[in-house]
Amino acid sequence: MVPPESACILALETSCDETAAAVIQGGRLISHHLATQEIHARYGGVVPEWASRAHLQHIVPVVDAALADAGKSPGQVDAIAFTQGPGLIGSLMVGASFAKAFALPRQLPLIGVHHMQAHVLSHFIEAPHPGFPFLCLTVSGGHTQIVRVHDYLDMEVLGETQDDAVGEAFDKIAKMMGLPYPGGPWLDRYAENGDPGRYVFPQAKMEGLQFSFSGVKTAFRLFLEAGIKNNPRFLEEERDHICASIQANLVSALMEKLVLASRQTGIRDVAIAGGVSANRGLRRAMEKAAAEWGWRVFVPSWEYCTDNAAMIAIAAHYLYQKGVFLGADVQPMARMPWPENRR
C-alpha cells in the first residue's frame, strides 16, 4: 500500500444533486470539480430519478476534469473514495458503482465516506483548522446536528432535529414565497435588504440540544395566507422584510442551541458546516457569538459549505491513514448510521 503521506486519492460525491470529483494527495487537495444539476429547479425540488440519471451523464466528464486538473492519469490513482450515505439511494448508487468499477480492475483500496462526517471534516481542507475538541453545527438540506468532534474520525452527535432539517425549512418557506429551488440562497439574498425585526415568528421549545423546524413552517404558511388576504400585494411589497424576519428566526433557533452546547461542554472552538453555513445571517450571528462568548469561530469557504467532493477527499485521507477500506460487496445506504469512532 502506498503510504498516506503520498497516496493519491480520487473522491466522488453523488449523494444528492451535485456530481463532484476531487483529487487529494498526502492530505493536500489538488483539484476538485462539480456539476450542478439544473433540471430540478423546474420542479421546485430534487426529483430523485432525474438526479440519478444526471449523475450518470455527469460522472465521467467530472472525474476526467478533476484528474486532468490534478495532472494525474487514472493509473496514478492509489485509492478511490465515494459517499456511501446518507443520501438519495439512486444517486449514491451511481458513485458507488463507479468507484467499484474503477477500483476492481486496478485492485485499489475502496473508501466509503459518511456525508455528514465529511461536512464536519471540510474544516481541514484549508487552514485555519479548529482544535480538538470542537463543536460543529452541521446544517444542510437533510440534517441539523450539533456534533462534538474529539478527533478526525471520533465524533459524537449531541443533538439534532426531530423533524425537518433547517435547510429544508429554508427551502419550503422560500417555495411558499414562490422563490426558485433551492430557496435558501434566495432567502439569504433578499434578507440582506430587509428588517429582521419587522415580523416575529414562533420558535419551538425543544428539550436540551434538540431542534424542531416543522412548527415554524406551518406558522409561516398561516402568516403568509393572512397577509395576502389583507393585501394581495403583501408578498411583493414586504418580500425583503419577510425574508429577513424568517431568516432571523431560523438562525436564532440554531444559535440558541449552539450557545447552550458550548456552555454545557465548555468547548469554545465552534464551527459550522453544510449548505446552510453559507447563510450570511448565520455567519454574522457566529461572529457576534464569538465576541460575546469568547469563541474561536470556524466557517468553511463558500465552495466547501454546500455539497462538494473536496470534503469527501479530506475524509477519505483520514480513513486511508487508518486503513479503513471496504470490500467490493459494499452497498450505499440512504440512511447511514454515524460511523464507528476511531482514534
* Total interface residues for Zn ion by CB under 5 A: 2
- Dihedral of CA atoms 19, 23, 26, 30 in degrees, nearest 10, equals -120
- Nearer to ligand KG4 among residue 183 and residue 194 (C-beta): 183
Sheet with 269-273, strands from edge to edge, namely 154-160, 144-151, 134-139, 269-273, 296-298
Report the SS3 class of residue 298: strand
Nearest residue to the partner Zn ion, using Cβ: 140
Task: Kindly tell me which residue out of 85, 95, 130, 167 binds ligand KG4, with binding defined by CB under 6 A.
Answer: 167
- Nearer to ligand KG4 among residue 2 and residue 177 (C-beta): 177
Environment class of 230 (CB within 10 Å of its CB; exposed 0-12, middle 13-18, buried 19+): exposed
Of these partners, Zn ion, ligand KG4, none, which one is at the site of residue 277 (CB under 5 to 8 Å by kind)? Answer: none
**Do the beta carbons of residue 26 and residue 7 sit within 8 Å?**
yes
**Concatenated DSSP letters for 50-108?**
HHHHHHHHHHHHHHHHHHHHHT--GGG--EEEEEEESS-HHHHHHHHHHHHHHHHHHT-
- Dihedral of CA atoms 153, 159, 161, 162 in degrees, nearest 10, equals 120
Which listed range, 55-63, 176-184, 257-265, 315-323, lies at the site for ligand KG4 (CB under 6 A)?
Answer: 176-184
C-alpha cell at 101: 468499477
Of these partners, ligand KG4, Zn ion, none, which one is at the site of residue 167 (CB under 5 to 8 Å by kind)? Answer: ligand KG4
Contacts with ligand KG4 in 239-298 (CB under 6 A)? 274-276, 278-279
- Stretch 303-342: interaction string toward ligand KG4, x if CB under 6 A: ---xx-----------------------------------
Determine, following the binding rule CB under 6 A, whether residue 4 of this chain makes contact with ligand KG4: no
- Nearer to ligand KG4 among residue 78 and residue 171 (C-beta): 171
Shortest Å distance, C-beta 328 to ligand KG4: 26
Closest CA relative to residue 301, chosen from 125, 65, 69, 166: 125
Contacts with Zn ion in 108-147 (CB under 5 A)? 140
Q: Where on the chain is the footprint of ligand KG4 (CB under 6 A)?
A: 16, 140-142, 167, 170-171, 182-185, 188, 274-276, 278-279, 306-307
